[in-house]
Amino acid sequence: MKKVLELVKANVFIVIFVVISLVSMPVLMFFSAKQNAALREKVEQEVGEDSRKIQQISVTYTAPVLDPNSSPIPFNRPPNEPTTEAIRAYVKVLKKESDAIVQLAQEHNKRDRRILFDGLFPEPDAARETRIRQAAPAIRAEAHRQLINNVGAGSPPDAEFVLQLLQDRRTDMLDRLASQGREEDPDERAQIRTKLSEIRRNVYIEKSKYLTFYADDNVFRGVTPWEQSFLPSIETIWSWQHQYWVHQDILDALVQANTVAFQAEPIAQAPVKRVEQISVAAWDLADAAPTASVGLDASVRMMPDYEASLSGRAGWPLRANPLYDVRYVDLSLIVSSKQLPAVLNAFSTVNFMTVLDVDLEEIDANAHYAQGYVYGPGHVVRAKLLIETLWLRQWMAEYMPSSVKQTLGIPLPGTPVEATSEEQAPPASTRSRRERMQG
């Protein structure tokens, strides 16, 4: 150790330089590494920032779809003019398509509707209002009579007419026997009876040949003479108007059922033999309280409500529905059991109508024949149908009186819409249609 110290003392500068040389290496390397790390961090930060900014140059394109059951498929990519243009053009075409579908649906639903009470809707002509309200019951009755006439329906031959005819024929036959100096014996009585039966049968059959089906203006339940001491209100008359349109669609559908390949079938071969009853579920518009406005937006997606109806469709008063109203019809028909599908199919060809329920009952065709109804050779049944008919509010609102609009929650021009939502959900306290009809 002493020697070492001596050596160090003897070569102090050399030792110092050697130490400096040796120590400087790791020290410099340490600082170099630190500097390198700082540089790396700085570059990484800068590059990372730039890279992040570049990655952020991206947008999400979402092309909408018209099918409510499909979801739009979004995709990310940098914004690009041709892509934007393609999406824009696609949306434009979809909008056009959507508008065209709405238009077609409205035209299909509206058809060639006739306003029975001209001058009353949507706002009554003050000068004519009372006169029209006075005449409304008669107009309504006449319109329904016309409806039956228009569809070529009618009743079997009048019983008194048939009785008179048969009596006349019997008298003729007896006179013919008397002129021969004879009186009717049991055989001749039986022959006369057979002949009179044939005549009766022929009269019935002949009448059936030029009828579309048996029906008269008594089949419309609720279309009865106005027996109140006051004039019907505007709301009541609107109900009559709407009910008339429903009746029109139902009868048109039954005509369609009896028309095969553009040719009308005679009752004997046609599916629908007789219409016994058409009953449109009543709307009590006059006493109903106003409903909060639900808007009139055709783009609102309606969620199905299977509590209210088998089809999932429901409207006022069961649930808020800005798109359409639902009117239910109970039908009682005598139909060919073999051709029942044709009857069920016919409803959807005329308008937005759906058969919700079918009940079949056996009938005694002979008992009907006794009243003059000839149904042909096939098996017939009584079919009780429940039909759902939809009425688009967008065109109906053009004719509706303001008070009816308020009741149904249709916004009046210039009033704000209180309740709109993307998807209309059924209210918790809805009662089913059947429940409502029952009580």
From candidates 238, 245, 375, 391, binder to other proteins by CB under 8 A: 375
Task: Give the C-alpha separation, 280 to 424, whole Å.
Answer: 26
**Size of residue set near other proteins by CB under 8 A:** 104
Q: Where are the alpha helices (DSSP H) in 184-333?
A: 186-209, 234-257
Task: Tell me the CB-side half-sphere exposure of residue 215, using CA atoms within 13 A.
Answer: 34
From candidates 2, 55, 287, 414, binder to other proteins by CB under 8 A: 55
Residue 30: CB atoms within 10 A of its CB come to: 10
Bridge partners, 255 (sequence order): none
Task: Give the C-alpha separation, 393 to 390, whole Å.
Answer: 9
From candidates 112, 187, 227, 423, binder to other proteins by CB under 8 A: 112
Residues of this chain, 194-233, that bind other proteins according to CB under 8 A: 201-203, 205-210, 212
Q: Does 268 bind other proteins (CB under 8 A)?
A: yes
Q: Does 336 bind other proteins (CB under 8 A)?
A: yes
Q: Does 27 bind other proteins (CB under 8 A)?
A: no
Q: Does 163 bind other proteins (CB under 8 A)?
A: no
Residue 5 CB, nearest distance to other proteins (Å)? 12
From candidates 158, 359, 362, 398, binder to other proteins by CB under 8 A: 362
Q: In this structure, what is the dihedral angle of CA atoms 397, 401, 406, 411, given to the nearest 10 degrees?
A: 40
Residues of this chain, 269-308, that bind other proteins according to CB under 8 A: 269
Q: Does 68 bind other proteins (CB under 8 A)?
A: no
Task: Give the C-alpha separation, 300 to 136, whole Å.
Answer: 36
From candidates 44, 168, 357, 435, binder to other proteins by CB under 8 A: 44
Residue 356: CB atoms within 10 A of its CB come to: 16
Q: Does 399 bind other proteins (CB under 8 A)?
A: no
Retrieve residue 269's tokens: 């071969």
Q: Does 12 bind other proteins (CB under 8 A)?
A: no
- Using the rule CB under 8 A, give the single segment among 50-58, 171-179, 180-188, 386-394 that binds other proteins: 50-58
Q: Does 340 bind other proteins (CB under 8 A)?
A: yes
Least Cα distance to 231 among 133, 126, 132 occurs for 133
Task: Give the C-alpha separation, 426 to 319, whole Å.
Answer: 6
Task: Tell me the CB-side half-sphere exposure of residue 343, using CA atoms within 13 A.
Answer: 28
- Using the rule CB under 8 A, give the single segment among 146-154, 216-224, 322-330, 421-429 that binds other proteins: 146-154
From candidates 1, 21, 69, 423, binder to other proteins by CB under 8 A: 21
C-alpha Rg value of the chain to the nearest Å: 42
Retrieve residue 4's tokens: 């070492």
From candidates 79, 222, 304, 427, binder to other proteins by CB under 8 A: 79
Q: Where are the alpha helices (DSSP H) in 351-390?
A: 365-370
Residue 360 CB, nearest distance to other proteins (Å)? 7
Query: Please, what sign has the CA dihedral across residues 97, 98, 99, 101?
Result: positive
Q: Does 105 bind other proteins (CB under 8 A)?
A: yes
End-to-end CA distance of the chain: 119
Q: Does 160 bind other proteins (CB under 8 A)?
A: no
8 Å CB contact between 274 and 334:
yes
Q: Does 80 bind other proteins (CB under 8 A)?
A: yes
Longest dimension (CA), the chain: 184
Q: Does 162 bind other proteins (CB under 8 A)?
A: no
From candidates 124, 128, 152, 288, binder to other proteins by CB under 8 A: 152
Residue 169 CB, nearest distance to other proteins (Å)? 13
DSSP conformation class of 70: S
Q: Which is nearer to other proteins, 146 or 167 (CB)?
A: 146
Q: Which is nearer to other proteins, 255 or 285 (CB)?
A: 255
From candidates 12, 138, 360, 419, binder to other proteins by CB under 8 A: 360
- Using the rule CB under 8 A, give the single segment among 128-136, 223-231, 338-346, 386-394 that binds other proteins: 338-346
